[in-house]
Structure 1
Amino acid sequence: MMKSLQRILCLGVLLVASLAMADSIQLRDGHPDVYYVKKGDTLWDISARFLENPWQWPELWHDNPEIDNPHLIYPGDEIRLSWQGGEPRLTVNRDGNSRTQLPDGTIKLTPRARELDRDSAIPAIPMSAIQSYLKEALVVSREEIADAPYVVGGQDRRVVYGMGDTIYARDPDTQFENAPPRYGIYRVGEEYVDPETDEVLGYEARQIGLASITGHEDDMVTMEVVRSSEDIRVDDRLFPQPDRRVRAVLYPHAPDEKTTGHIIRFFDRINSVARNDVVVMNLGEREGMEPGHVLDIFQQGELVRDRQRDEMVRLPRTRSGSLVLFRVYEKVSYGLIMESLRPIYMQDIVESPEGSY
């Protein structure tokens, strides 16, 4: 009797969870029933054709034994929306035909052999908008700055150096033990500070060049500058060049728990940012953030005076957009704004999407 009751309770919980998921998923008005993936698409763009909240994409996937990883979508794939048990489902059809839409709306199929690899899959978000931040940006701690090798000089007693020049760098602590053949040359700049706690979250290190080691003696190396985007100076730091590609399997999804933070930095903008701009948030790995996490953006309500009670009150906040994290460090994250309903400002709130926790 007790086991039967437990089964009934478990089934009830699963049914409620399933209904809650179905109720929370909103299809976009005018959504297509079929969409053919084309070159230049992103996973977010395709999701937005079907859903009000593109991050809910994984919840609609129907198991397809012919597709090893449904999050790897390729040009020519057919995305089809169907209904099963009253719930929407998305499936991928990959039959090897090349599709061309004719002016009258007819789809022309051209058979072809398809060799698929992960690198040819469509990306989750526009790679052109984040490529430079993947290759040229680091967030480092005060300790990492102090321990990093640094430029001490160059030939001809000059004070600035560029591509083709010879420079010298020193590493008193490890003497370049197990040094890679190339280093990125970085300039340490912006200090990231939490707006609520005043905690120093890290320091922005911006790559300004790339240099190869041509000689090594004790704690000093000789290097040739093979690339520079601006003048290289004494005290600039050296950091190894990790693989900083965003994998094709990165896809937008919501955090498991409610998380709230603030935008603390944006780039090349003075007052506000919008769609396809990059911002920095005071949330990182220690808060459970990971690449692909989606966060909604809210403007803090204006502080106004209630003349009836002669007191200051804050107006309700308003949703201003959403973003996807693409690079996550211990205490901060870089995100790309995917949607902007109005201008987005410094100190705006970022939060897990409603209904995702």
Structure 2
Amino acid sequence: MSRLLSKVIIVFISLFAATQVVAQSPLKIKPQAPETYTVVKGDTLWGISGMYLANPWLWPRLWQANPEIDNPHLIYPGDKLNLIWVNGQPRLSLKPMVKLSPKVRQVEKQALSAVKDGLIVPYLESDILLSDNELKSVSRVLGASSGNRFLTDNESLYISGAQQHMKWGIYRPLETYTRDKHHMVVLKEIAVGEFKSTDDNMSALSITHQTQEILVDDIALPNIDDVDTLLSTNFFPSPAPDNSTAKILGGIESIDYVGKNQVVVIDRGVEDNVQQGSMFELYQPATMVKSNSKGSKVLKQAEKDKLQLPNTRIGSLMVIRPYQYFSLALITESQQPIGENAVVKAPQETTGNTTAQ
């Protein structure tokens, strides 16, 4: 058995086991959840999950896949969702509005994404995180024939190497994040271009869009539609592996605090059984109990025992692009600005409470 196959099996078993732990307690449906709902264009899986569940990441437990449909996990505009009960447990079943063959169905309709496409597609089209080793082999901006230091879209841009890809992104390195001996560099896209010509040493691009001036030695990466067949916008939310934790290393935009719909880098990835859609909850860390010279014996004893107050839940995040040791994650909910000191934990079904240890 290959090492890759062994790894896949281990990941599957771990995820299955985690799901079984979560599945032991009853699933709670929101009181205002509709018995029937017709999916409309613009809906997302996250939005529909939140319509029915206080904990939207428990979607896999609510969703009843329809075996009559080619891909039973995809939902399309026009589909009718029905809330039913099976052996005392809620289930959401699907009845397609029109019976179509799988091929016709996929051509005529676009399946629902996990969240709004605009929030995740830019992070799937090209690598936003690169390792030190990958950074050594990427193409670099060589300049323009004019010799200008700041390059604009009025002239051809030359990059290193003989290239063939038609679409390109120009990136600038920002932060470097570290986990043990692993290092990843965050890249910011500053321009996009199209292939014009090539020779043995360099290739010419025509810049079609840019958000700031391009500099010599900026990074050039091809934008490939099928960058990774395991990545898509049609994944669904599910709890991160039971009892797992993570750390927010920073935001993509190099800011100290982030909020809803912003993307952060966390120190967990495929090696930690994290996948697209893995959900974590965010908590504000509480302080230890502190006393003073006039404090009571009870308070002083609590300080001596290093008693810590409960953490306060402040939001949640969803992994949108896992790498081997790191991941890009979208803040899906935030009651306050989220900083690097936030406690990141696998969801607990008791959410609804505002505190947790």
TM-score range, shorter chain: 0.7 to 0.9
Dislocated runs of 4+, deviation >4 Å: 17-20, 267-271, 309-313
The equivalent residue for 2:33 is 31
State yes or no: 1:156 paired with 2:146: yes
Cα distance between partner residues in 1 of 2:248 and 2:95? 40
- Aligned equivalents of 1:87, 1:314: Cα separation in 2: 37
Counterpart residue type for residue 72 of structure 1 = L
- State the SS of the aligned residue for 1:156: coil
Verify the 8 A CA contact 1:284 1:329 in the aligned structure 2: yes
| Equivalent residue number for residue 240 of structure 2 | 255
Measure the CA separation in 1 of the matches of 2:20 and 2:249: 37
Residue identity (%): 30
What is the Cα deviation at residue 69 of structure 1?
A: 2.8
- Decide whether aligned partners of structure 1 residues 276 and 181 sit closer, same or farther in structure 2, where only a CA change above 3 A counts: closer
Distance in 2 of aligned mates of 1:45 and 1:82: 19
Match of 1:300 among 285, 308, 314: 285
CA-to-partner distance for each residue in 1:96-127, whole Å, 9 max, x for gaps? 39xxxxxxxxxxxxxxxx95327612211122
Give how far 1:59 is off.
1.6
CA contact (8 A) 1:201 1:332 kept: no
Instruction: Name structure 1 gaps, 5 residues minimum.
Output: 1-16, 98-113
Which residue of 114, 117, 142 corresponds with 2:106? 117
| C-alpha RMSD of the superposition | 3.0
| Aligned equivalents of 1:272, 1:249: Cα separation in 2 | 28
1:353 aligns with 2:347: yes
Residue aligned with 1:40, SS: coil
Relative to structure 1, the CA distance from residue 148 to residue 33 in structure 2 (aligned partners, 3 Å threshold; closer, same or farther) is same
Contact 1:136 1:207 in 2 (8 A): no
Q: Deviations over 1:102-158 (max 9, x none)?
A: xxxxxxxxxxxx953276122111222234334466100112112112122212221
**Bigger CA drift: 220-229 or 120-129?**
220-229
Distance in structure 2 (CA, Å) of the matches to 1:21 and 1:150: 50
- 1:241 and 2:226 matched: no
Deviations 1:80-100 (A, max 9, x none): 111122222211111339xxx
**Whole-Å Cα distance in 2 between the matches of residues 80 and 182 of structure 1?**
43
> Cα 1:180–1:269, aligned 2, differ >3 Å: closer, same or farther?
closer
TM-score (norm 1): 0.78
Q: 1:187 to 1:90 in 2, by over 3 A?
A: same
Match of 2:316 among 322, 327, 333: 322
Cα gap change, 1:122/1:20 in structure 2, threshold over 3 Å: closer, same or farther? closer
**In 2, Cα distance between equivalents of 1:301 and 1:155:** 58
Q: How many angstroms apart in 2 are the aligned matches of 1:317 and 1:344?
A: 14
Residues 1:183 and 1:64: Cα distance change in structure 2 (over 3 Å)? closer
- 1:343 aligned to 2:337? yes
Do the aligned partners of 1:136 and 1:206 also contact (CA within 8 Å) in 2?
A: no
Query: 2:272 — aligned with what?
Result: 287
Provide structure 2 residue ranges, at least 5 long, that are not aligned to the other structure: 1-18, 293-299, 351-357
TM-score between the two structures when normalised by the length of structure 2: 0.78
- Aligned residue for 1:117, secondary structure, equals helix
